[in-house]
Structure 1
């Protein structure tokens, strides 16, 4: 399930990025130096602002930490939206009410939240359609979801934007935009 080794990076043109996207990408890049493990264990978290230890986490934790750096606490946002519209969210975990410890750490819940916020963007096979700061969700096969962030770095070999994600060995920046079937594309912040 491990993606290809890190791709050589070629910086794109000097396209200016909005302050939230700069903060989001800086946080995601910092995670590639700090988050070296993967642990999907259910953990009781502080609320608001709860997080698992910085050295570990899952794919959603990359997104959650980066969004916090950009001023959006997805733990609170998803929990409050689920309190308002619990029926709109997946029922695959057998819960009868929102759980602020885990709901934001589940890819399908983030997908519903972004969709409900009006953040859905076109899913295409064109790299240029994916902008820095965008969130992408994939099906790894067999219905296993995954999520990551689009960066402003381009793979020197393919020209595709690199993705920061955690698929099992810590946060990494890799050329994996089209490695799996894209099932969601979201633009929360204006680049």
Structure 2
């Protein structure tokens, strides 16, 4: 009996350590920006559209919005919100895009809901719910294919990847950074899981599941 008790206490101790390690990952994800390692000066694309009329073009607004959002150090967790947008310090990959677009004057929640209602046959949504539909990658794949400017998915064409673009993977999504690795390939601003060490990372060349690359406006 005593041996079982000791083993139980030891098990709880190990579990506690494991939980602490996970919490440590949650709390220490860095929003500090990586250095631009590309030796060639790359001209940044600027949109001709300023949807929110703030004096800053869409492309710059989206990039800045993504950076401002990850600077809040959101913790990774999928939750349902009655208002749609997370407001408690938690979030997932789609929230980086939603808040980035909101900064440029685009309400992704309303836009996705409208597109689902207008083109239900293109979505796998049986019961539309505006509070969650815009936070699902599978829906954003369809939405951006309908509404945004489609660009190359070839990572080697580095000039065509610009800060503020949107990149979609099979089950993930992020915003393209204006900083690049030594090969000229841009970093990605994203929120992938609780074990991330930074929100802006050099992952684009490592991914084999890129399914979309979009720009909101010309």
TM-score past 0.5 threshold: yes
| SS of 2:71 mapped into structure 1 | helix
1:129-179 per-residue CA deviation (whole Å, 9 max, x = no partner) reads: 22222111113xxxxx00001121112x33211110000147711111122
Using a 3 Å threshold, how does the CA distance of structure 1 residues 177 and 110 change in structure 2: closer, same or farther?
Answer: same
Structure 2 residue aligned with 1:154:
180
Kept in 2: contact 1:89–1:112 (CA 8 A): yes
3-state SS of paired residue (1:9):
coil
Residues matched between the structures, number: 173
Per the alignment, residue 216 of structure 2 pairs with 188
Question: Could you tell me how far 1:15 is from its partner in structure 2?
Answer: 3.3
CA contact (8 A) 1:154 1:162 kept: yes
Return the TM-score normalized by structure 1.
0.80
Please give the alpha-carbon distance, in whole angstroms, between the structure 2 residues aligned to 1:17 and 1:54.
32
In structure 1, what is the Cα distance between the partners aligned to 2:45 and 2:105? 19
Higher relative contact order (CA 8 A, sep 6+): 1
| Matching residue within 46, 69, 87 for 1:17 | 46
More strand by share: 1
Contact 2:155 2:185 in 1 (8 A): no
Q: Distance in 1 between matches of 2:44 and 2:110?
A: 32
Q: 1:158 to 1:36 in 2, by over 3 A?
A: farther
Normalised by the length of structure 2, the TM-score is 0.71
1:189 Cα offset (Å) = 2.5
Rg comparison, structure with higher value: 2
**Contact map agreement 1:133 1:189 (CA 8 A) in 2:** no
